Structure 1
Amino acid sequence: MNIDASRYQHWQVEVDATGLAWATLDKAGESANSLSSTVMSELARILDGFDGKPPRGLIFRSGKPAGFIAGADIQEFTQLDTPEKGIELVRRGWQLFNRLAGLNYPTLALVRGHCLGGGLELALACRYLLAVDEPTTRMGLPEVMLGIVPGWGGMLRLPERIGAQAALDMMLTGKSIDARRAKRLGLADDCVPPRVMDNAAAMLVLADQPRRRPPLLQRLLNGPLRGLAARAARKQVAKRARSEHYPAPYAIIDIWQKHRGDALAAPELIDRIVRSPTARNLVRVFFMQERLKGFGKGSASPARHLHVIGAGVMGGDIAAWCALRGLTVTLQDQGIERIAPALQRAYAAYRRRIKDPRELRRVMDRLIPDPDGHGASRADVLIEAIFEDLEAKRALLRKLDALIRPDALLASNTSSLRIEDLHGALNNPARLIGIHFFNPVARMPLVEVVAAGGADPEMLQRAMAFVKQIDRLPLPVKSAPGFLVNAVLGPYMLEAMRAVDEGLSPETVDQAMIAFGMPMGPIELVDMVGLDVAMAAGKSLAGNDAEPPKCLRERFAAGHLGKKTGKGFYDYPKGKPAKAAAAAVPAGLADRLLQPLLDRTQQLLRDGIVADADLADAGVIFGTGFAPFTGGPLNYLKSRHD
């Protein structure tokens, strides 16, 4: 039996022959479901309709191929300009989902694809959760990444469902989990393939069996031992985030510990969080991220075969990442002995991520050593990632020009050379695009897509689609030395090394910026980038100075090239920097170190290297880790002047 469809804009409701009700959310005019105020109001009316004549059970599912529910409607967060609006937003979801949790007939969330934030809170309010075993199925409460808290029951029900420790880890990091892990933790009652999901959902609801309880210790940590779990969680959060920069994780712990996850019991705290500068800036960062994702949308068919030339740290890691994302990758260098270290690094990284031995073997089989470069003539995309030498790159591109398919995307991963300076090696220079990754490739989400003057628009769009295909954020930039990210990092790292030349310890310099909110100090960043890269960047790094800083020159001359050689400004005995204690940070040091970065970002915007201030902020945040709570360097500058 179909319920009158005209009653609902976003839901379709039907009752089948067995008496089960199926509520399908298909938000009108959107590619993904989100819980707007209209969607929530319609859900309340659906429950009203069943009050008089309850069904045997109610199953929630999605009508979108993209997933279950992506979360609350983030646009509505931008309209919370009074305390009353923020509290009302929390109250609406808290009360509705409490009502859903209290129904006297069984309910189930059939989760296929992403189920995040408010979407997971809706699923937690159901008696059962059935996860569909697909790579796209992910569940999480990522509100903390927007500077807010899961206010619609997630802080109450997730610890009840999977125990305090696992729940706090998910809520405080924003991490999502897949369908199989959800079943292992007890978040999902079962995990089934797509072909049987509807039947399995119906059987689970009709069986109406009690749910599995968490182990005794986890129940104790969510009850009498709650204070112990809260103290441990605060220690972990303090290692990652300062409360003055990121108040939301500390608020989550407090609301869970003191109010059992009821955000309405702490209205002043909720108002302070929801309308804080951090939340406002992180929501802004979210929209900037969505904009970057949009650059990769287009009609270009997905790439299947990537050929990478250069198996050094950067080229090898690009190849490894792309193989992990499903591409066949051929990796070329001067002999198998140069390719072998890249394969070894890839295998070690894959083993940490992939637990299924068969899947591990499949991924490794996609990463193919190719010292003779046979893959170049067959590849859809080719990326040169050899050392930063103009003539060497030109010679390589000249050879590739004679080998590759006319429709192949040809790209350079150069970090400091202008794309125009490579044009002379090609018969059709308009086809060459810069695709500039950052180190470490597996962790840095941004990839600059660099267009020289006269670039082929189709190749440019294909490059951005390729970047999105491998789950990275494409940032369109114009060709100039260092593009955006390296161009702003150069003066920043230079100023940091000048401070070392003046007698400050690397630890003290780094501590100044970590205290500001950076994930890593500028001196450690030089070590990660590589002192040889810093030297090779030359004028791009040193600005108008005739010579790079003395501390850089001396270490480079001694062969201490940073993390990759185990020694740079710091020693790396076990892959991590061995640091002495930092001295007291001089007043004004952070401002001094930041100023060149801020000035260069403004200059690049004026020069048109990026199209607007939002893209400049997004590029510096996702390309350097610039403190996200500030909203980016230009937003930070504006807030200082307001």
Structure 2
Amino acid sequence: MIAGLDGLRFSHWQAEQRDDGIVVLTLDRADESVNTFSQDVVLELDALLERLSIDPPKGLILRSGKAKGFIAGADIHEFQELDAKGVIGDSIRRGQLAFQRLAELRCPTVAAIHGFCMGGGTEIALACRYRVASNDASTRIGLPEVKLGIYPGWGGSVRLPRLIGAPAAFDLMLTGRSFSAQAAKAVGLVDKVADPAQLLEAAVELVHKGAQRPFKQRFLAWITNTWPARQLLAPTMAKQVARKARKDHYPAPFTLIETWRRSGGGMQSLLAAERKSVVKLAGTPTARNLVRVYFLQERMKALGGKDSPETGSGKPLPGGIARVHVIGAGVMGGDIAAWSAYKGFQVTLQDREQPYIDKAMARAQELFAKKVKDETKRPEVAARLASDLNGDGIPEADLVVEAIIEQSEAKRDLYAAVEPRLKPDALLTTNTSAIPLTELREHIRRPAQFAGLHFVNPVPLMPLVEIIHHDGMAPQTQQRLAAFCNAIGKLPLPVAGTPGFLLNRLLFPYLLEAATAYSEGIPGAAIDRTAVKFGMPLGPVELLDVVGHDVAYSVLQELAPFLGLQAPPALATAPEPGKRGKKDGQGIYAWENGRPKKPEVPKDYRVPEDLEDRLILPLLNEGVAVLHEGVVADADLIDAGMIFGSGFAPFRGGPMQYIRSTGADAMLARLQALQAKYGDRFKPRPGWDSPALR
């Protein structure tokens, strides 16, 4: 029995004393597959460290008892519950006290990190004297709290800048990105990198011998945290953040910078300042909505099964899918093929002419060069994607994705030629943006295995995939496709096969109103600025150019009659050749090097006061109709779909949550005022009386 721990029983921590006097403390949270910090876990840790501080061992090593990783951070479910009870401050105080007790322990302490180490996991590692990380590809170390509308509150925002210097520390905390083990070693976040099998031995060596970081790292850590440096660096960092986020939308990064700039004194003073500002942030609508978005994401992941295995892992394949055949080598089809190959699937890519395939293959090489950092592994990834002019891969494919032009007849003709060549259990899917599946399933021999699989452009960046169903589709088809989406790192959203599905049905009234406002003489840049100020990732005029006027025109042929909308002049006819938008270098805007050249708005120009309502309320109105019609299961999935599919202001929690927070009755009155002024395109759709909006 370890001295000082006699009589104590722990549910989550196991303490083992080695013959050399080192105590190995293992976190293996009970009844959970992943280690997270609940209040019980923190309280046990504090009690254990209190006893160890009385008679310190020769050294202390912290490690995980879970094969999946180190520690994922705080228990977000419990965090939400504590916030609702108004006691989040007590939770943060307990975590700070326990981690500070670890930092003050009178013996060498080492965190032995493998797999993911996020949030509170990184913070407890920072409270140790040394850190060693496994060189496994799964090891990632980060502080992603900013994505939840807060920042590290268990001492991480205090310790990290002092360890690795302010520039590197704030790069990690302000972006929420993570480091590999080697990258963490390069900046001084970890002291040693070891093979997974040698991790414990490497930690023991650090206890016995310690580690001295290079003078340059130590000097940078000191100089960038002095008072003059903080006053100099903080405004620059705030300006950099302001280029990507508004302070009124996302206060956390600005509060983090300002708290660091003005806080001084000893550790207790710094921890108190951290705690005070994090508690205040946790109570903001932004933080509560971003926590809600986190749970929406987890819900969508669960639709594909808890642990969809990767191909080549030796485990059952996701949805029984190993080989994918994509027909249509345009931007969408080519990117779907490239992304699927990057994620481990064997992919064949077909089009009617070889030059189209060659162009897509070249673009795929650019993706692989960007995503696969290890050059020696790129040939293996590239080999998974094959050119297939004649469609020889069809008989071997488990999944066929059609991504040709948006014409029902052309798609049906293709299915008639492809379906007889499919394996009995193969799935046939369409990447159509808006065509109802009832139009496309005519003459399909196996409707149970036919579905829509609508990716969002650009495929490598956008996480959402709409799984479009129809009344003849088998439930297992949806399950298989959802598992495939999980396997390629996408979020599946089951949607009814009505025109426009969810994403385009809500987006196009918004885009149409923007085009209408533009035709009235409102400058495109002013329209875009209004939408971005609301919280959209880019303005609707720019988005039209990005989507492509040819695509927008095709989608409108399906949606305009269904929604009873009139196309504005800019979209009433097919675009002229060479003027389809960003891909041609010319749309509403001229484009250079992938960026729009927006004409300057005259300084004396005043944006109409109702422009924001004109843009946003049509989107919300259609969202209410979608909820009323049951196009998706519930209001939460509407929010999830629009956030992950269109970038709808995450800090607002999604369109349905925005209606709730603003007040459905107030929003309805504003919509009716627009109807009275501009006409029936603003007529309230059925469903505004739904209890889900209250």
**TM-score w.r.t. structure 2 length?**
0.89
Separation (CA, whole Å) in 1 of partners of 2:592 and 2:425: 46
- Aligned residue runs from structure 1 range 230-629, under 5 A: 230-259=234-263, 262-265=270-273, 269-297=277-305, 301-302=317-318, 303-543=321-561, 548-553=567-572, 556-582=575-601, 583-629=605-651
CA 1:320–1:103: 2 relative to 1, 3 Å: same
Q: SS in structure 2 opposite 1:424?
A: coil
- Aligned residue runs from structure 1 range 61-100, under 5 A: 61-81=63-83, 85-100=87-102
Which residue of 1 is the match for residue 169 of structure 2?
Answer: 167
Contact 1:116–1:140 (CA under 8 A) maintained in structure 2: yes
Separation (CA, whole Å) in 2 of partners of 1:228 and 1:358: 42
Q: SS in structure 1 opposite 2:632?
A: coil
Which residue of 1 is the match for residue 124 of structure 2?
Answer: 122
Which residue of 1 is the match for residue 659 of structure 2?
Answer: 637
Separation (CA, whole Å) in 2 of partners of 1:388 and 1:403: 23
Q: Which moved more, 1:345-354 or 1:538-547?
A: 538-547
Q: Which moved more, 1:520-529 or 1:53-62?
A: 53-62
Cα-to-partner distance string for 1:554-590 (whole Å, 9 max, x where unaligned): 7813541111111111111111111223454321211
Q: SS in structure 1 opposite 2:597?
A: coil
Percentage of matched positions with identical amino acids = 46
Which residue of 1 is the match for residue 672 of structure 2?
Answer: none
Contact 1:24–1:61 (CA under 8 A) maintained in structure 2: yes
Aligned AA for 2:27?
L
Q: SS in structure 2 opposite 1:7?
A: coil
Contact 2:553–2:573 (CA under 8 A) maintained in structure 1: no
Q: Which moved more, 1:82-91 or 1:469-478?
A: 82-91
Aligned AA for 1:339?
I
Selected match of 2:60 from 58, 61, 65: 58
Aligned AA for 2:168?
A
Cα-to-partner distance string for 1:479-510 (whole Å, 9 max, x where unaligned): 11111111100111011101011111111111
Contact 2:158–2:271 (CA under 8 A) maintained in structure 1: no
Separation (CA, whole Å) in 2 of partners of 1:6 and 1:304: 51
- Aligned residue runs from structure 1 range 134-173, under 5 A: 134-173=136-175
Aligned AA for 1:234?
A
CA 1:628–1:84: 2 relative to 1, 3 Å: closer
Separation (CA, whole Å) in 2 of partners of 1:447 and 1:96: 42
Separation (CA, whole Å) in 2 of partners of 1:365 and 1:321: 13
Which residue of 1 is the match for residue 14 of structure 2?
Answer: 12
CA 1:293–1:84: 2 relative to 1, 3 Å: closer
Separation (CA, whole Å) in 1 of partners of 2:515 and 2:458: 22
How big is the shift at 1:193? 2.4
Separation (CA, whole Å) in 1 of partners of 2:331 and 2:6: 60
Cα-to-partner distance string for 1:374-422 (whole Å, 9 max, x where unaligned): 2221122221111111111112222221112112232211111122322
Cα-to-partner distance string for 1:239-293 (whole Å, 9 max, x where unaligned): 1111111111111101112225935226654343110111111111111111111
Separation (CA, whole Å) in 1 of partners of 2:283 and 2:348: 50
CA 1:82–1:557: 2 relative to 1, 3 Å: closer
CA 1:504–1:554: 2 relative to 1, 3 Å: farther
Structure 2 regions of 5+ residues with no counterpart?
Answer: 309-315, 665-694
How big is the shift at 1:553? 4.3
How big is the shift at 1:84? 6.6
Cα-to-partner distance string for 1:331-363 (whole Å, 9 max, x where unaligned): 111232111111222222332333322122222
Separation (CA, whole Å) in 2 of partners of 1:324 and 1:639: 41
CA 1:406–1:83: 2 relative to 1, 3 Å: closer
Q: SS in structure 2 opposite 1:538?
A: helix
Contact 1:555–1:568 (CA under 8 A) maintained in structure 2: no
Separation (CA, whole Å) in 2 of partners of 1:426 and 1:558: 34
Contact 2:134–2:193 (CA under 8 A) maintained in structure 1: yes
Q: SS in structure 1 opposite 2:400?
A: strand
Which residue of 2 is the match for residue 220 of structure 1?
Answer: 223
Separation (CA, whole Å) in 1 of partners of 2:469 and 2:63: 43
Separation (CA, whole Å) in 1 of partners of 2:493 and 2:417: 29
Cα-to-partner distance string for 1:9-61 (whole Å, 9 max, x where unaligned): 11222112222222221212222111111000111122123223322222212
Q: Which moved more, 1:544-553 or 1:417-426?
A: 544-553
Separation (CA, whole Å) in 2 of partners of 1:114 and 1:208: 24
Which residue of 1 is the match for residue 51 of structure 2?
Answer: 49
How big is the shift at 1:621? 0.7
Q: SS in structure 2 opposite 1:448?
A: strand
Contact 1:491–1:541 (CA under 8 A) maintained in structure 2: no
How big is the shift at 1:218? 5.1
Contact 1:83–1:271 (CA under 8 A) maintained in structure 2: no
Superposition CA RMSD, Å: 2.1
How big is the shift at 1:641? 1.1
Q: SS in structure 1 opposite 2:190?
A: coil
Separation (CA, whole Å) in 1 of partners of 2:274 and 2:191: 32
How big is the shift at 1:311? 0.8
Aligned AA for 2:295?
F
Q: Which moved more, 1:370-379 or 1:263-272?
A: 263-272
How big is the shift at 1:540? 4.1
Separation (CA, whole Å) in 1 of partners of 2:167 and 2:341: 34
CA 1:598–1:546: 2 relative to 1, 3 Å: closer
Cα-to-partner distance string for 1:612-641 (whole Å, 9 max, x where unaligned): 111111111111100001011011011111
Q: SS in structure 2 opposite 1:245?
A: coil
Aligned AA for 1:265?
A
Contact 1:497–1:551 (CA under 8 A) maintained in structure 2: yes
Q: SS in structure 2 opposite 1:629?
A: helix
Separation (CA, whole Å) in 2 of partners of 1:112 and 1:390: 51
Q: How many corresponding residue pairs?
A: 642
Q: Which moved more, 1:552-561 or 1:520-529?
A: 552-561
How big is the shift at 1:81? 4.9
Separation (CA, whole Å) in 2 of partners of 1:81 and 1:207: 43
Separation (CA, whole Å) in 1 of partners of 2:207 and 2:25: 14
Contact 1:5–1:12 (CA under 8 A) maintained in structure 2: no
Separation (CA, whole Å) in 2 of partners of 1:454 and 1:75: 38
Q: Which moved more, 1:446-455 or 1:217-226?
A: 217-226
Q: Which moved more, 1:498-507 or 1:584-593?
A: 584-593
Q: Which moved more, 1:600-609 or 1:152-161?
A: 152-161
CA 1:442–1:56: 2 relative to 1, 3 Å: same
